[in-house]
Amino acid sequence: MEEIQLAKVLFPETVCLDVESFEDKQAMFDYLSDRFLKANVITSKEKYIEALYEREQLGSTYMGNHIALPHGKSDTVVQPGICFCRCKQSFTYQSSDEIGQVKLIFMLAIPQGQPAENYLQTLAALARLLMHEKFIEALYQIQDYQGLTTLISEYQM
């Protein structure tokens, strides 16, 4: 089975670089959901945020190393999407029973009807990239959407 190409589900509207820090997870969910709405990835911000919180109840989306990987599966998602956000300063991210400081966020929007294996493949592909220290370091250096998609494509080869 062919690996999901992560760069194909990123859009210029869903790449947010050097954003001021968020007050909390709620503010981050609100901001990034707006980006999905602008990119036509979702049709309802409220329903998508509900899906994010439903997923949060299942277990932590804090990955350590200043990284969060929130994701939601909902019928409001009309096409798969990834939102990447790099914050200027870290903020406190509480997910399930874990609390950590976060500066990098990869938020995933998954259509409700998408097979579970596609969803899991996307998460696994992203997790594999995040195992590379050089990839994480490069996330702090990229300047724009093109830089991010190029970086991801290089590491996904």
Contact 6, 126 (CB under 8 A): yes
Contact 69, 33 (CB under 8 A): no
Domains in the chain, CATH or no CATH each: 8-155 (3.40.930.10)
Q: What is residue 116's predicted lDDT score, i.e. its pLDDT? A: 67
CA dihedral 62, 125, 106, 91 (to 10 degrees): 30
Taking only the tens of pLDDT, the chain with its 157 residues reads: 445 688 889 999 999 999 999 999 999 999 999 999 999 999 999 999 999 999 999 999 999 999 999 999 999 999 999 999 999 999 999 998 899 999 999 999 999 877 767 777 888 889 889 999 999 999 999 999 999 999 999 998 7
Q: What is residue 117's predicted lDDT score, i.e. its pLDDT? A: 72
CA distance 115 to 129: 22
Find the radius of gyration of the CA atoms of the chain. Answer: 14
CB atoms within 10 A of CB 131: 9
